[in-house]
């Protein structure tokens, strides 16, 4: 006989419906991570933008080890453009893809000075026109810097949305669309961080135990 589960005080038997899964996920993540911190160290919009750019195919932990050395030399667009691309590349090499990332950092810093008075723009259009800045990076900046509702989808969120059967997982664009459709807009910015932390701690890509996972074991 199946054990009853409780959703909003109601005991229900059988598999959770999608709406019930969403509610359970929200409640569980809120209990585990009521105040999720932004995992990338930064002090303003510019250093956050550079940190997010560096995090492509690199761990946040490694980015946080590298950025103090970079920002000691250049923590503003004006200072960054004074560095040679090779100097930037040498510093950020541990983050991977350093030739492309260093060129993007240098050129986007020039563009910020040329077109945006040295400030990071607060629109998707302007952000996505910057070298090295795609939709996911722009979404992170919009959400975590400018507090505009967004749902950036990284590998953790893409994996968990599939695992929780909340998306067909064809691509990150579809996953983002489904996440925005299923979760309340006022929770997007917080949920984005909560799911990332949950994926790292409880729901990894490898050696994942569904029987002990606080969400997968219940839904």
Q: Do 127 and 168 share a domain, yes or no? A: no
Confidence label for 10 from pLDDT (cuts 50, 70 and 90)? very low
Q: Do 137 and 186 share a domain, yes or no? A: no
Q: Do 98 and 138 share a domain, yes or no? A: yes
Digit-coded pLDDT (tens) for 34-48: 999 999 999 999 999
Range in 8-12, 18-22, 23-27 with the lowest mean pLDDT: 8-12
* Residue 199: pLDDT over 60: yes
DSSP code of residue 200 = H
210 within domain boundaries = no
209 within domain boundaries = no
Q: Do 124 and 188 share a domain, yes or no? A: no
Q: Do 117 and 183 share a domain, yes or no? A: no
27 within domain boundaries = yes
Confidence label for 17 from pLDDT (cuts 50, 70 and 90)? confident
Q: Which domain-ending residue is among 144, 162, 188?
A: 144
The span from the CA of 97 to the CA of 122, in Å, is 26
* Domain containing residue 101: 45-144
Q: Which of 132, 156, 168, 161 is nearest to 205 (CA)?
A: 156
Q: Do 128 and 187 share a domain, yes or no? A: no
Q: Do 26 and 50 share a domain, yes or no? A: no
Q: Do 168 and 182 share a domain, yes or no? A: yes
* Most trustworthy range by pLDDT among 8-17, 67-76, 164-173, 201-210: 67-76
Mean of all residue pLDDT scores within the chain: 92
10 within domain boundaries = yes
Digit-coded pLDDT (tens) for 53-64: 999 999 999 999
Q: Do 120 and 164 share a domain, yes or no? A: no
The span from the CA of 50 to the CA of 77, in Å, is 10
E strands within the chain?
5-7, 10-12
Q: Which domain-ending residue is among 127, 144, 161?
A: 144
Confidence label for 156 from pLDDT (cuts 50, 70 and 90)? confident
Rg (CA), the chain: 20
75: CATH: 1.10.340.30
Question: What is the chain's length?
Answer: 219
Q: Which of 183, 189, 181, 122 is nearest to 149 (CA)?
A: 189
169: CATH: 1.10.1670.10
* Residue 182: pLDDT over 80: yes
124 within domain boundaries = yes
Confidence label for 16 from pLDDT (cuts 50, 70 and 90)? confident
219 within domain boundaries = no
The span from the CA of 151 to the CA of 166, in Å, is 14
Report which of residues 1 and 129 the model is more confident about.
129
Per-residue burial over 28-62, b if 16 or more Cβ lie within 10 Å, else e, is: bbeeebeebeebbbbeebbbbbbbbbbbbebebee
Confidence label for 15 from pLDDT (cuts 50, 70 and 90)? low
Mind telling me the catalytic residues? Answer: 136, 154
Q: Do 108 and 185 share a domain, yes or no? A: no
Number of domains in the chain: 2
Supply the pLDDT for residue 104: 98
**Tokens 């074991």 identify what position?**
217
């Amino acid at each position: 006989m199946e054990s009853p589960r409780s959703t909003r005080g109601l005991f229900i038997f059988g598999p959770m419906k999608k709406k019930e899964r969403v509610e359970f996920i929200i409640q569980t993540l809120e209990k585990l991570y009521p105040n999720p911190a932004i995992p990338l160290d930064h002090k303003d919009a510019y250093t956050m933008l550079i940190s997010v750019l560096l995090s492509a195919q690199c761990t946040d932990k490694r980015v946080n080890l590298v950025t103090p050395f970079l920002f000691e030399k250049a923590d503003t667009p004006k200072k960054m453009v004074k560095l040679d691309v090779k100097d930037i590349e040498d510093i950020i090499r541990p983050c991977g893809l350093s030739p492309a990332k260093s060129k993007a950092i240098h050129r986007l810093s020039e563009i910020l000075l040329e077109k945006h008075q040295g400030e990071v723009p607060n629109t998707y259009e302007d952000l996505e026109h910057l070298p090295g800045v795609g939709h996911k990076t722009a979404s992170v900046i919009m959400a975590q810097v400018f507090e505009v509702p967004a749902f950036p989808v990284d590998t953790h969120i893409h994996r968990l949305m599939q695992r929780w059967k909340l998306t067909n997982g064809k691509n990150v664009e579809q996953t983002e669309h489904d996440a925005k459709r299923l979760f309340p807009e006022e929770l997007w910015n917080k949920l984005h961080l909560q799911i990332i932390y949950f994926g790292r701690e409880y729901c990894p890509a490898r050696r994942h135990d569904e029987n002990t996972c606080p969400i997968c074991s219940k839904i």
